[in-house]
Amino acid sequence: MCSPHTSLNNLTMEADRYNRQARIAGWNQTRLHQCTLIITGHTTFSDYLTLGASALGIGTIRLIATPQDAPSPEAPFLRLSAKPTRHERLEELVASVGASRFEYVRAHLRTQAEQWLFSGATVIVDSTGRHDSRALVLDYAMKNNISIELTSFAETRARSLDKQSSPYILHDEPPHGVDAVASLVIAGAVLEEIKKYSFTPTTGRQSLAYQMQYHEPQPLPDSKILVVGAGALGNFVVPGLAALGCAHVDIVDNDIIEETNLNRQIAYFDSVGKHKATVLAERSSAMAMQGAQYTPFTIFFNNDASIDGYTLVLDCVDNFATRASLSRACIRARVPLISGGTSYRAGQCVAYAPGKTTCTNHVLDLDRVAAIRREEHQVAGCIRQADPSVIMSNMVVAGMMLHDVRRVLQPEVWDKPINGQTRYDAEGPDRIGTLELNETCGD
């Protein structure tokens, strides 16, 4: 039996873990603990969704693996486990990043008799892409008035449905292979819908879609990438680079891992007190191909830093002054830059490809915003409260950034990045969209 002191410590640690999301107005962690999430189909998408749900604090996750489905690569985080099977690796990581009860079941989901596996569900997510399992989910959800999320990778989209929705909405195209980058985007967006439904069960919710052309995975050209920021965005971007086959990545961040980071920075589950860049480099190396070099630099990025020799720079920082410095450095060196930013309900990704798109400073007005933030900080001083933050928006924007990595390094396959920004808004009607510019800044 735990001592009173140990129990108090555990309660304090749990409060710290959820501190940043508990700051959001209307947040209800208890509702998340009471939620039972059922996922059908074991895919890259369901790996990401399961890990994200555990970190968020969802109480029970039941993954129903359907063995007749086409195989998909596992999420890179699973490579941190030495367990012999994929579901055992996932189970170990789920227990590491959160406190969810994890149940793993294998079933074909072809007959009405198998609907008992959905018992107790708060939300069901179908990711099999098969009509027979999808029909069982739809039938059960309509009879029991529960929410479902359907994912389809025919054009990489997700749908939020309820009992009033047409069961034929996703039956128009055959599914294609599951894209690992799109899986991260859709998992984050779907997890946000699950959170909202857990707080306030509703009907008549709108569909959400994220369109991405599917291609068979191809090795990226040899490159040297600089990632500035190993926080919530970097935590998904750098392992994503490892999964894409990037062999040379430098990571710059001077921050130390804190308990309050763990609700959204799942690579750091047992590393409180260590440098973020060091742990992320070590763990991403374990996720990457043999011989890959992921090197940490526990320093601040400053205005005079040189980025000569890099093929691409990724901005994953959370302050506008550093983002403005990165923009200027990439303009000077004519090095492509991909910049991501998030809040607890929204985010955006901007790509600067010299000669093709305008710079991130122009798109985001970084210098002006940095000046405003400096003034706010001077006024607020040390009483300024930390911003609320969740895992969902960071998963979505990190996936957008990884897609722009492919578009910068393989434009002949994925097409060039847009001149503007890709945006995510958890409260918007379409959730994900683009804002394109007609002009460039000349840089």
Task: Look at strands 157-161 and 147-152 and give their pairing.
Answer: antiparallel
Token pair of 350, please? Answer: 């901007």
Rounded to the nearest 10°, the torsion over CA 157, 163, 164, 169 is 30
**Domain end: 165, 184, 209, which one?**
209
φ, ψ at 58 (rounded to 5°): -70, 135
Mean pLDDT of successive 10-residue stretches along the chain, which has 443 residues? 42 78 95 95 94 98 92 93 97 97 96 95 87 86 79 52 42 59 91 90 56 71 95 97 95 96 97 98 94 94 85 93 90 94 94 90 75 58 66 97 94 89 88 82 65
Half-sphere exposure of 356 (CA within 13 A, CB side): 15
Q: The CATH number of the domain where 90 resides is what?
A: 3.40.50.720
Residue 27 maps to a domain: no
Asked if 372 contacts 321 with a C-beta cutoff of 8 angstroms, the reply is: no
Residue with tokens 């901005």: 315
CA–CA dist 185, 12 (Å, integer): 32
Token pair of 155, please? Answer: 């054009």
Token pair of 57, please? Answer: 């604090």
Residue 355 maps to a domain: yes
Do 254 and 158 belong to one domain?
no
Cβ count within 10 A of residue 373: 13
Residue 1 maps to a domain: no
Domain residue limits at 342: 224-436
Do 280 and 323 belong to one domain?
yes
Residue 192 maps to a domain: yes
Cβ count within 10 A of residue 196: 16
Do 242 and 149 belong to one domain?
no
Query: 170 Cβ partners below 8 Å, 6+ apart?
Result: 134, 150, 152, 154, 157, 159
Asked if 404 contacts 314 with a C-beta cutoff of 8 angstroms, the reply is: no
Do 93 and 190 belong to one domain?
yes
Do 60 and 155 belong to one domain?
yes
Residue 29 maps to a domain: no
Do 76 and 113 belong to one domain?
yes
pLDDT for the residue 92: 98
Residue 164 maps to a domain: yes
**Domain end: 209, 239, 257, which one?**
209
Largest CA distance in the chain: 67
Integer CA distances (angstroms), 147 to 39, 144, 159, 199, 421, in order: 12, 9, 11, 12, 31
**Domain end: 174, 209, 244, which one?**
209
Do 273 and 403 belong to one domain?
yes
Task: Look at strands 36-40 and 312-315 and give their pairing.
Answer: unpaired
Do 48 and 189 belong to one domain?
yes
Asked if 249 contacts 238 with a C-beta cutoff of 8 angstroms, the reply is: yes
Do 203 and 238 belong to one domain?
no
One-letter amino acid for residue 21 of the chain: Q
Asked if 75 contacts 47 with a C-beta cutoff of 8 angstroms, the reply is: yes
pLDDT for the residue 130: 82
Do 205 and 231 belong to one domain?
no
237 closest CA partner among 364, 96, 400, 80: 400
Cβ count within 10 A of residue 370: 18
φ, ψ at 426 (rounded to 5°): -65, -20
Domains in the chain: how many in total? 2
Residue 424 maps to a domain: yes
Do 203 and 56 belong to one domain?
yes
Do 135 and 254 belong to one domain?
no
Residue 13 maps to a domain: no
pLDDT for the residue 265: 97
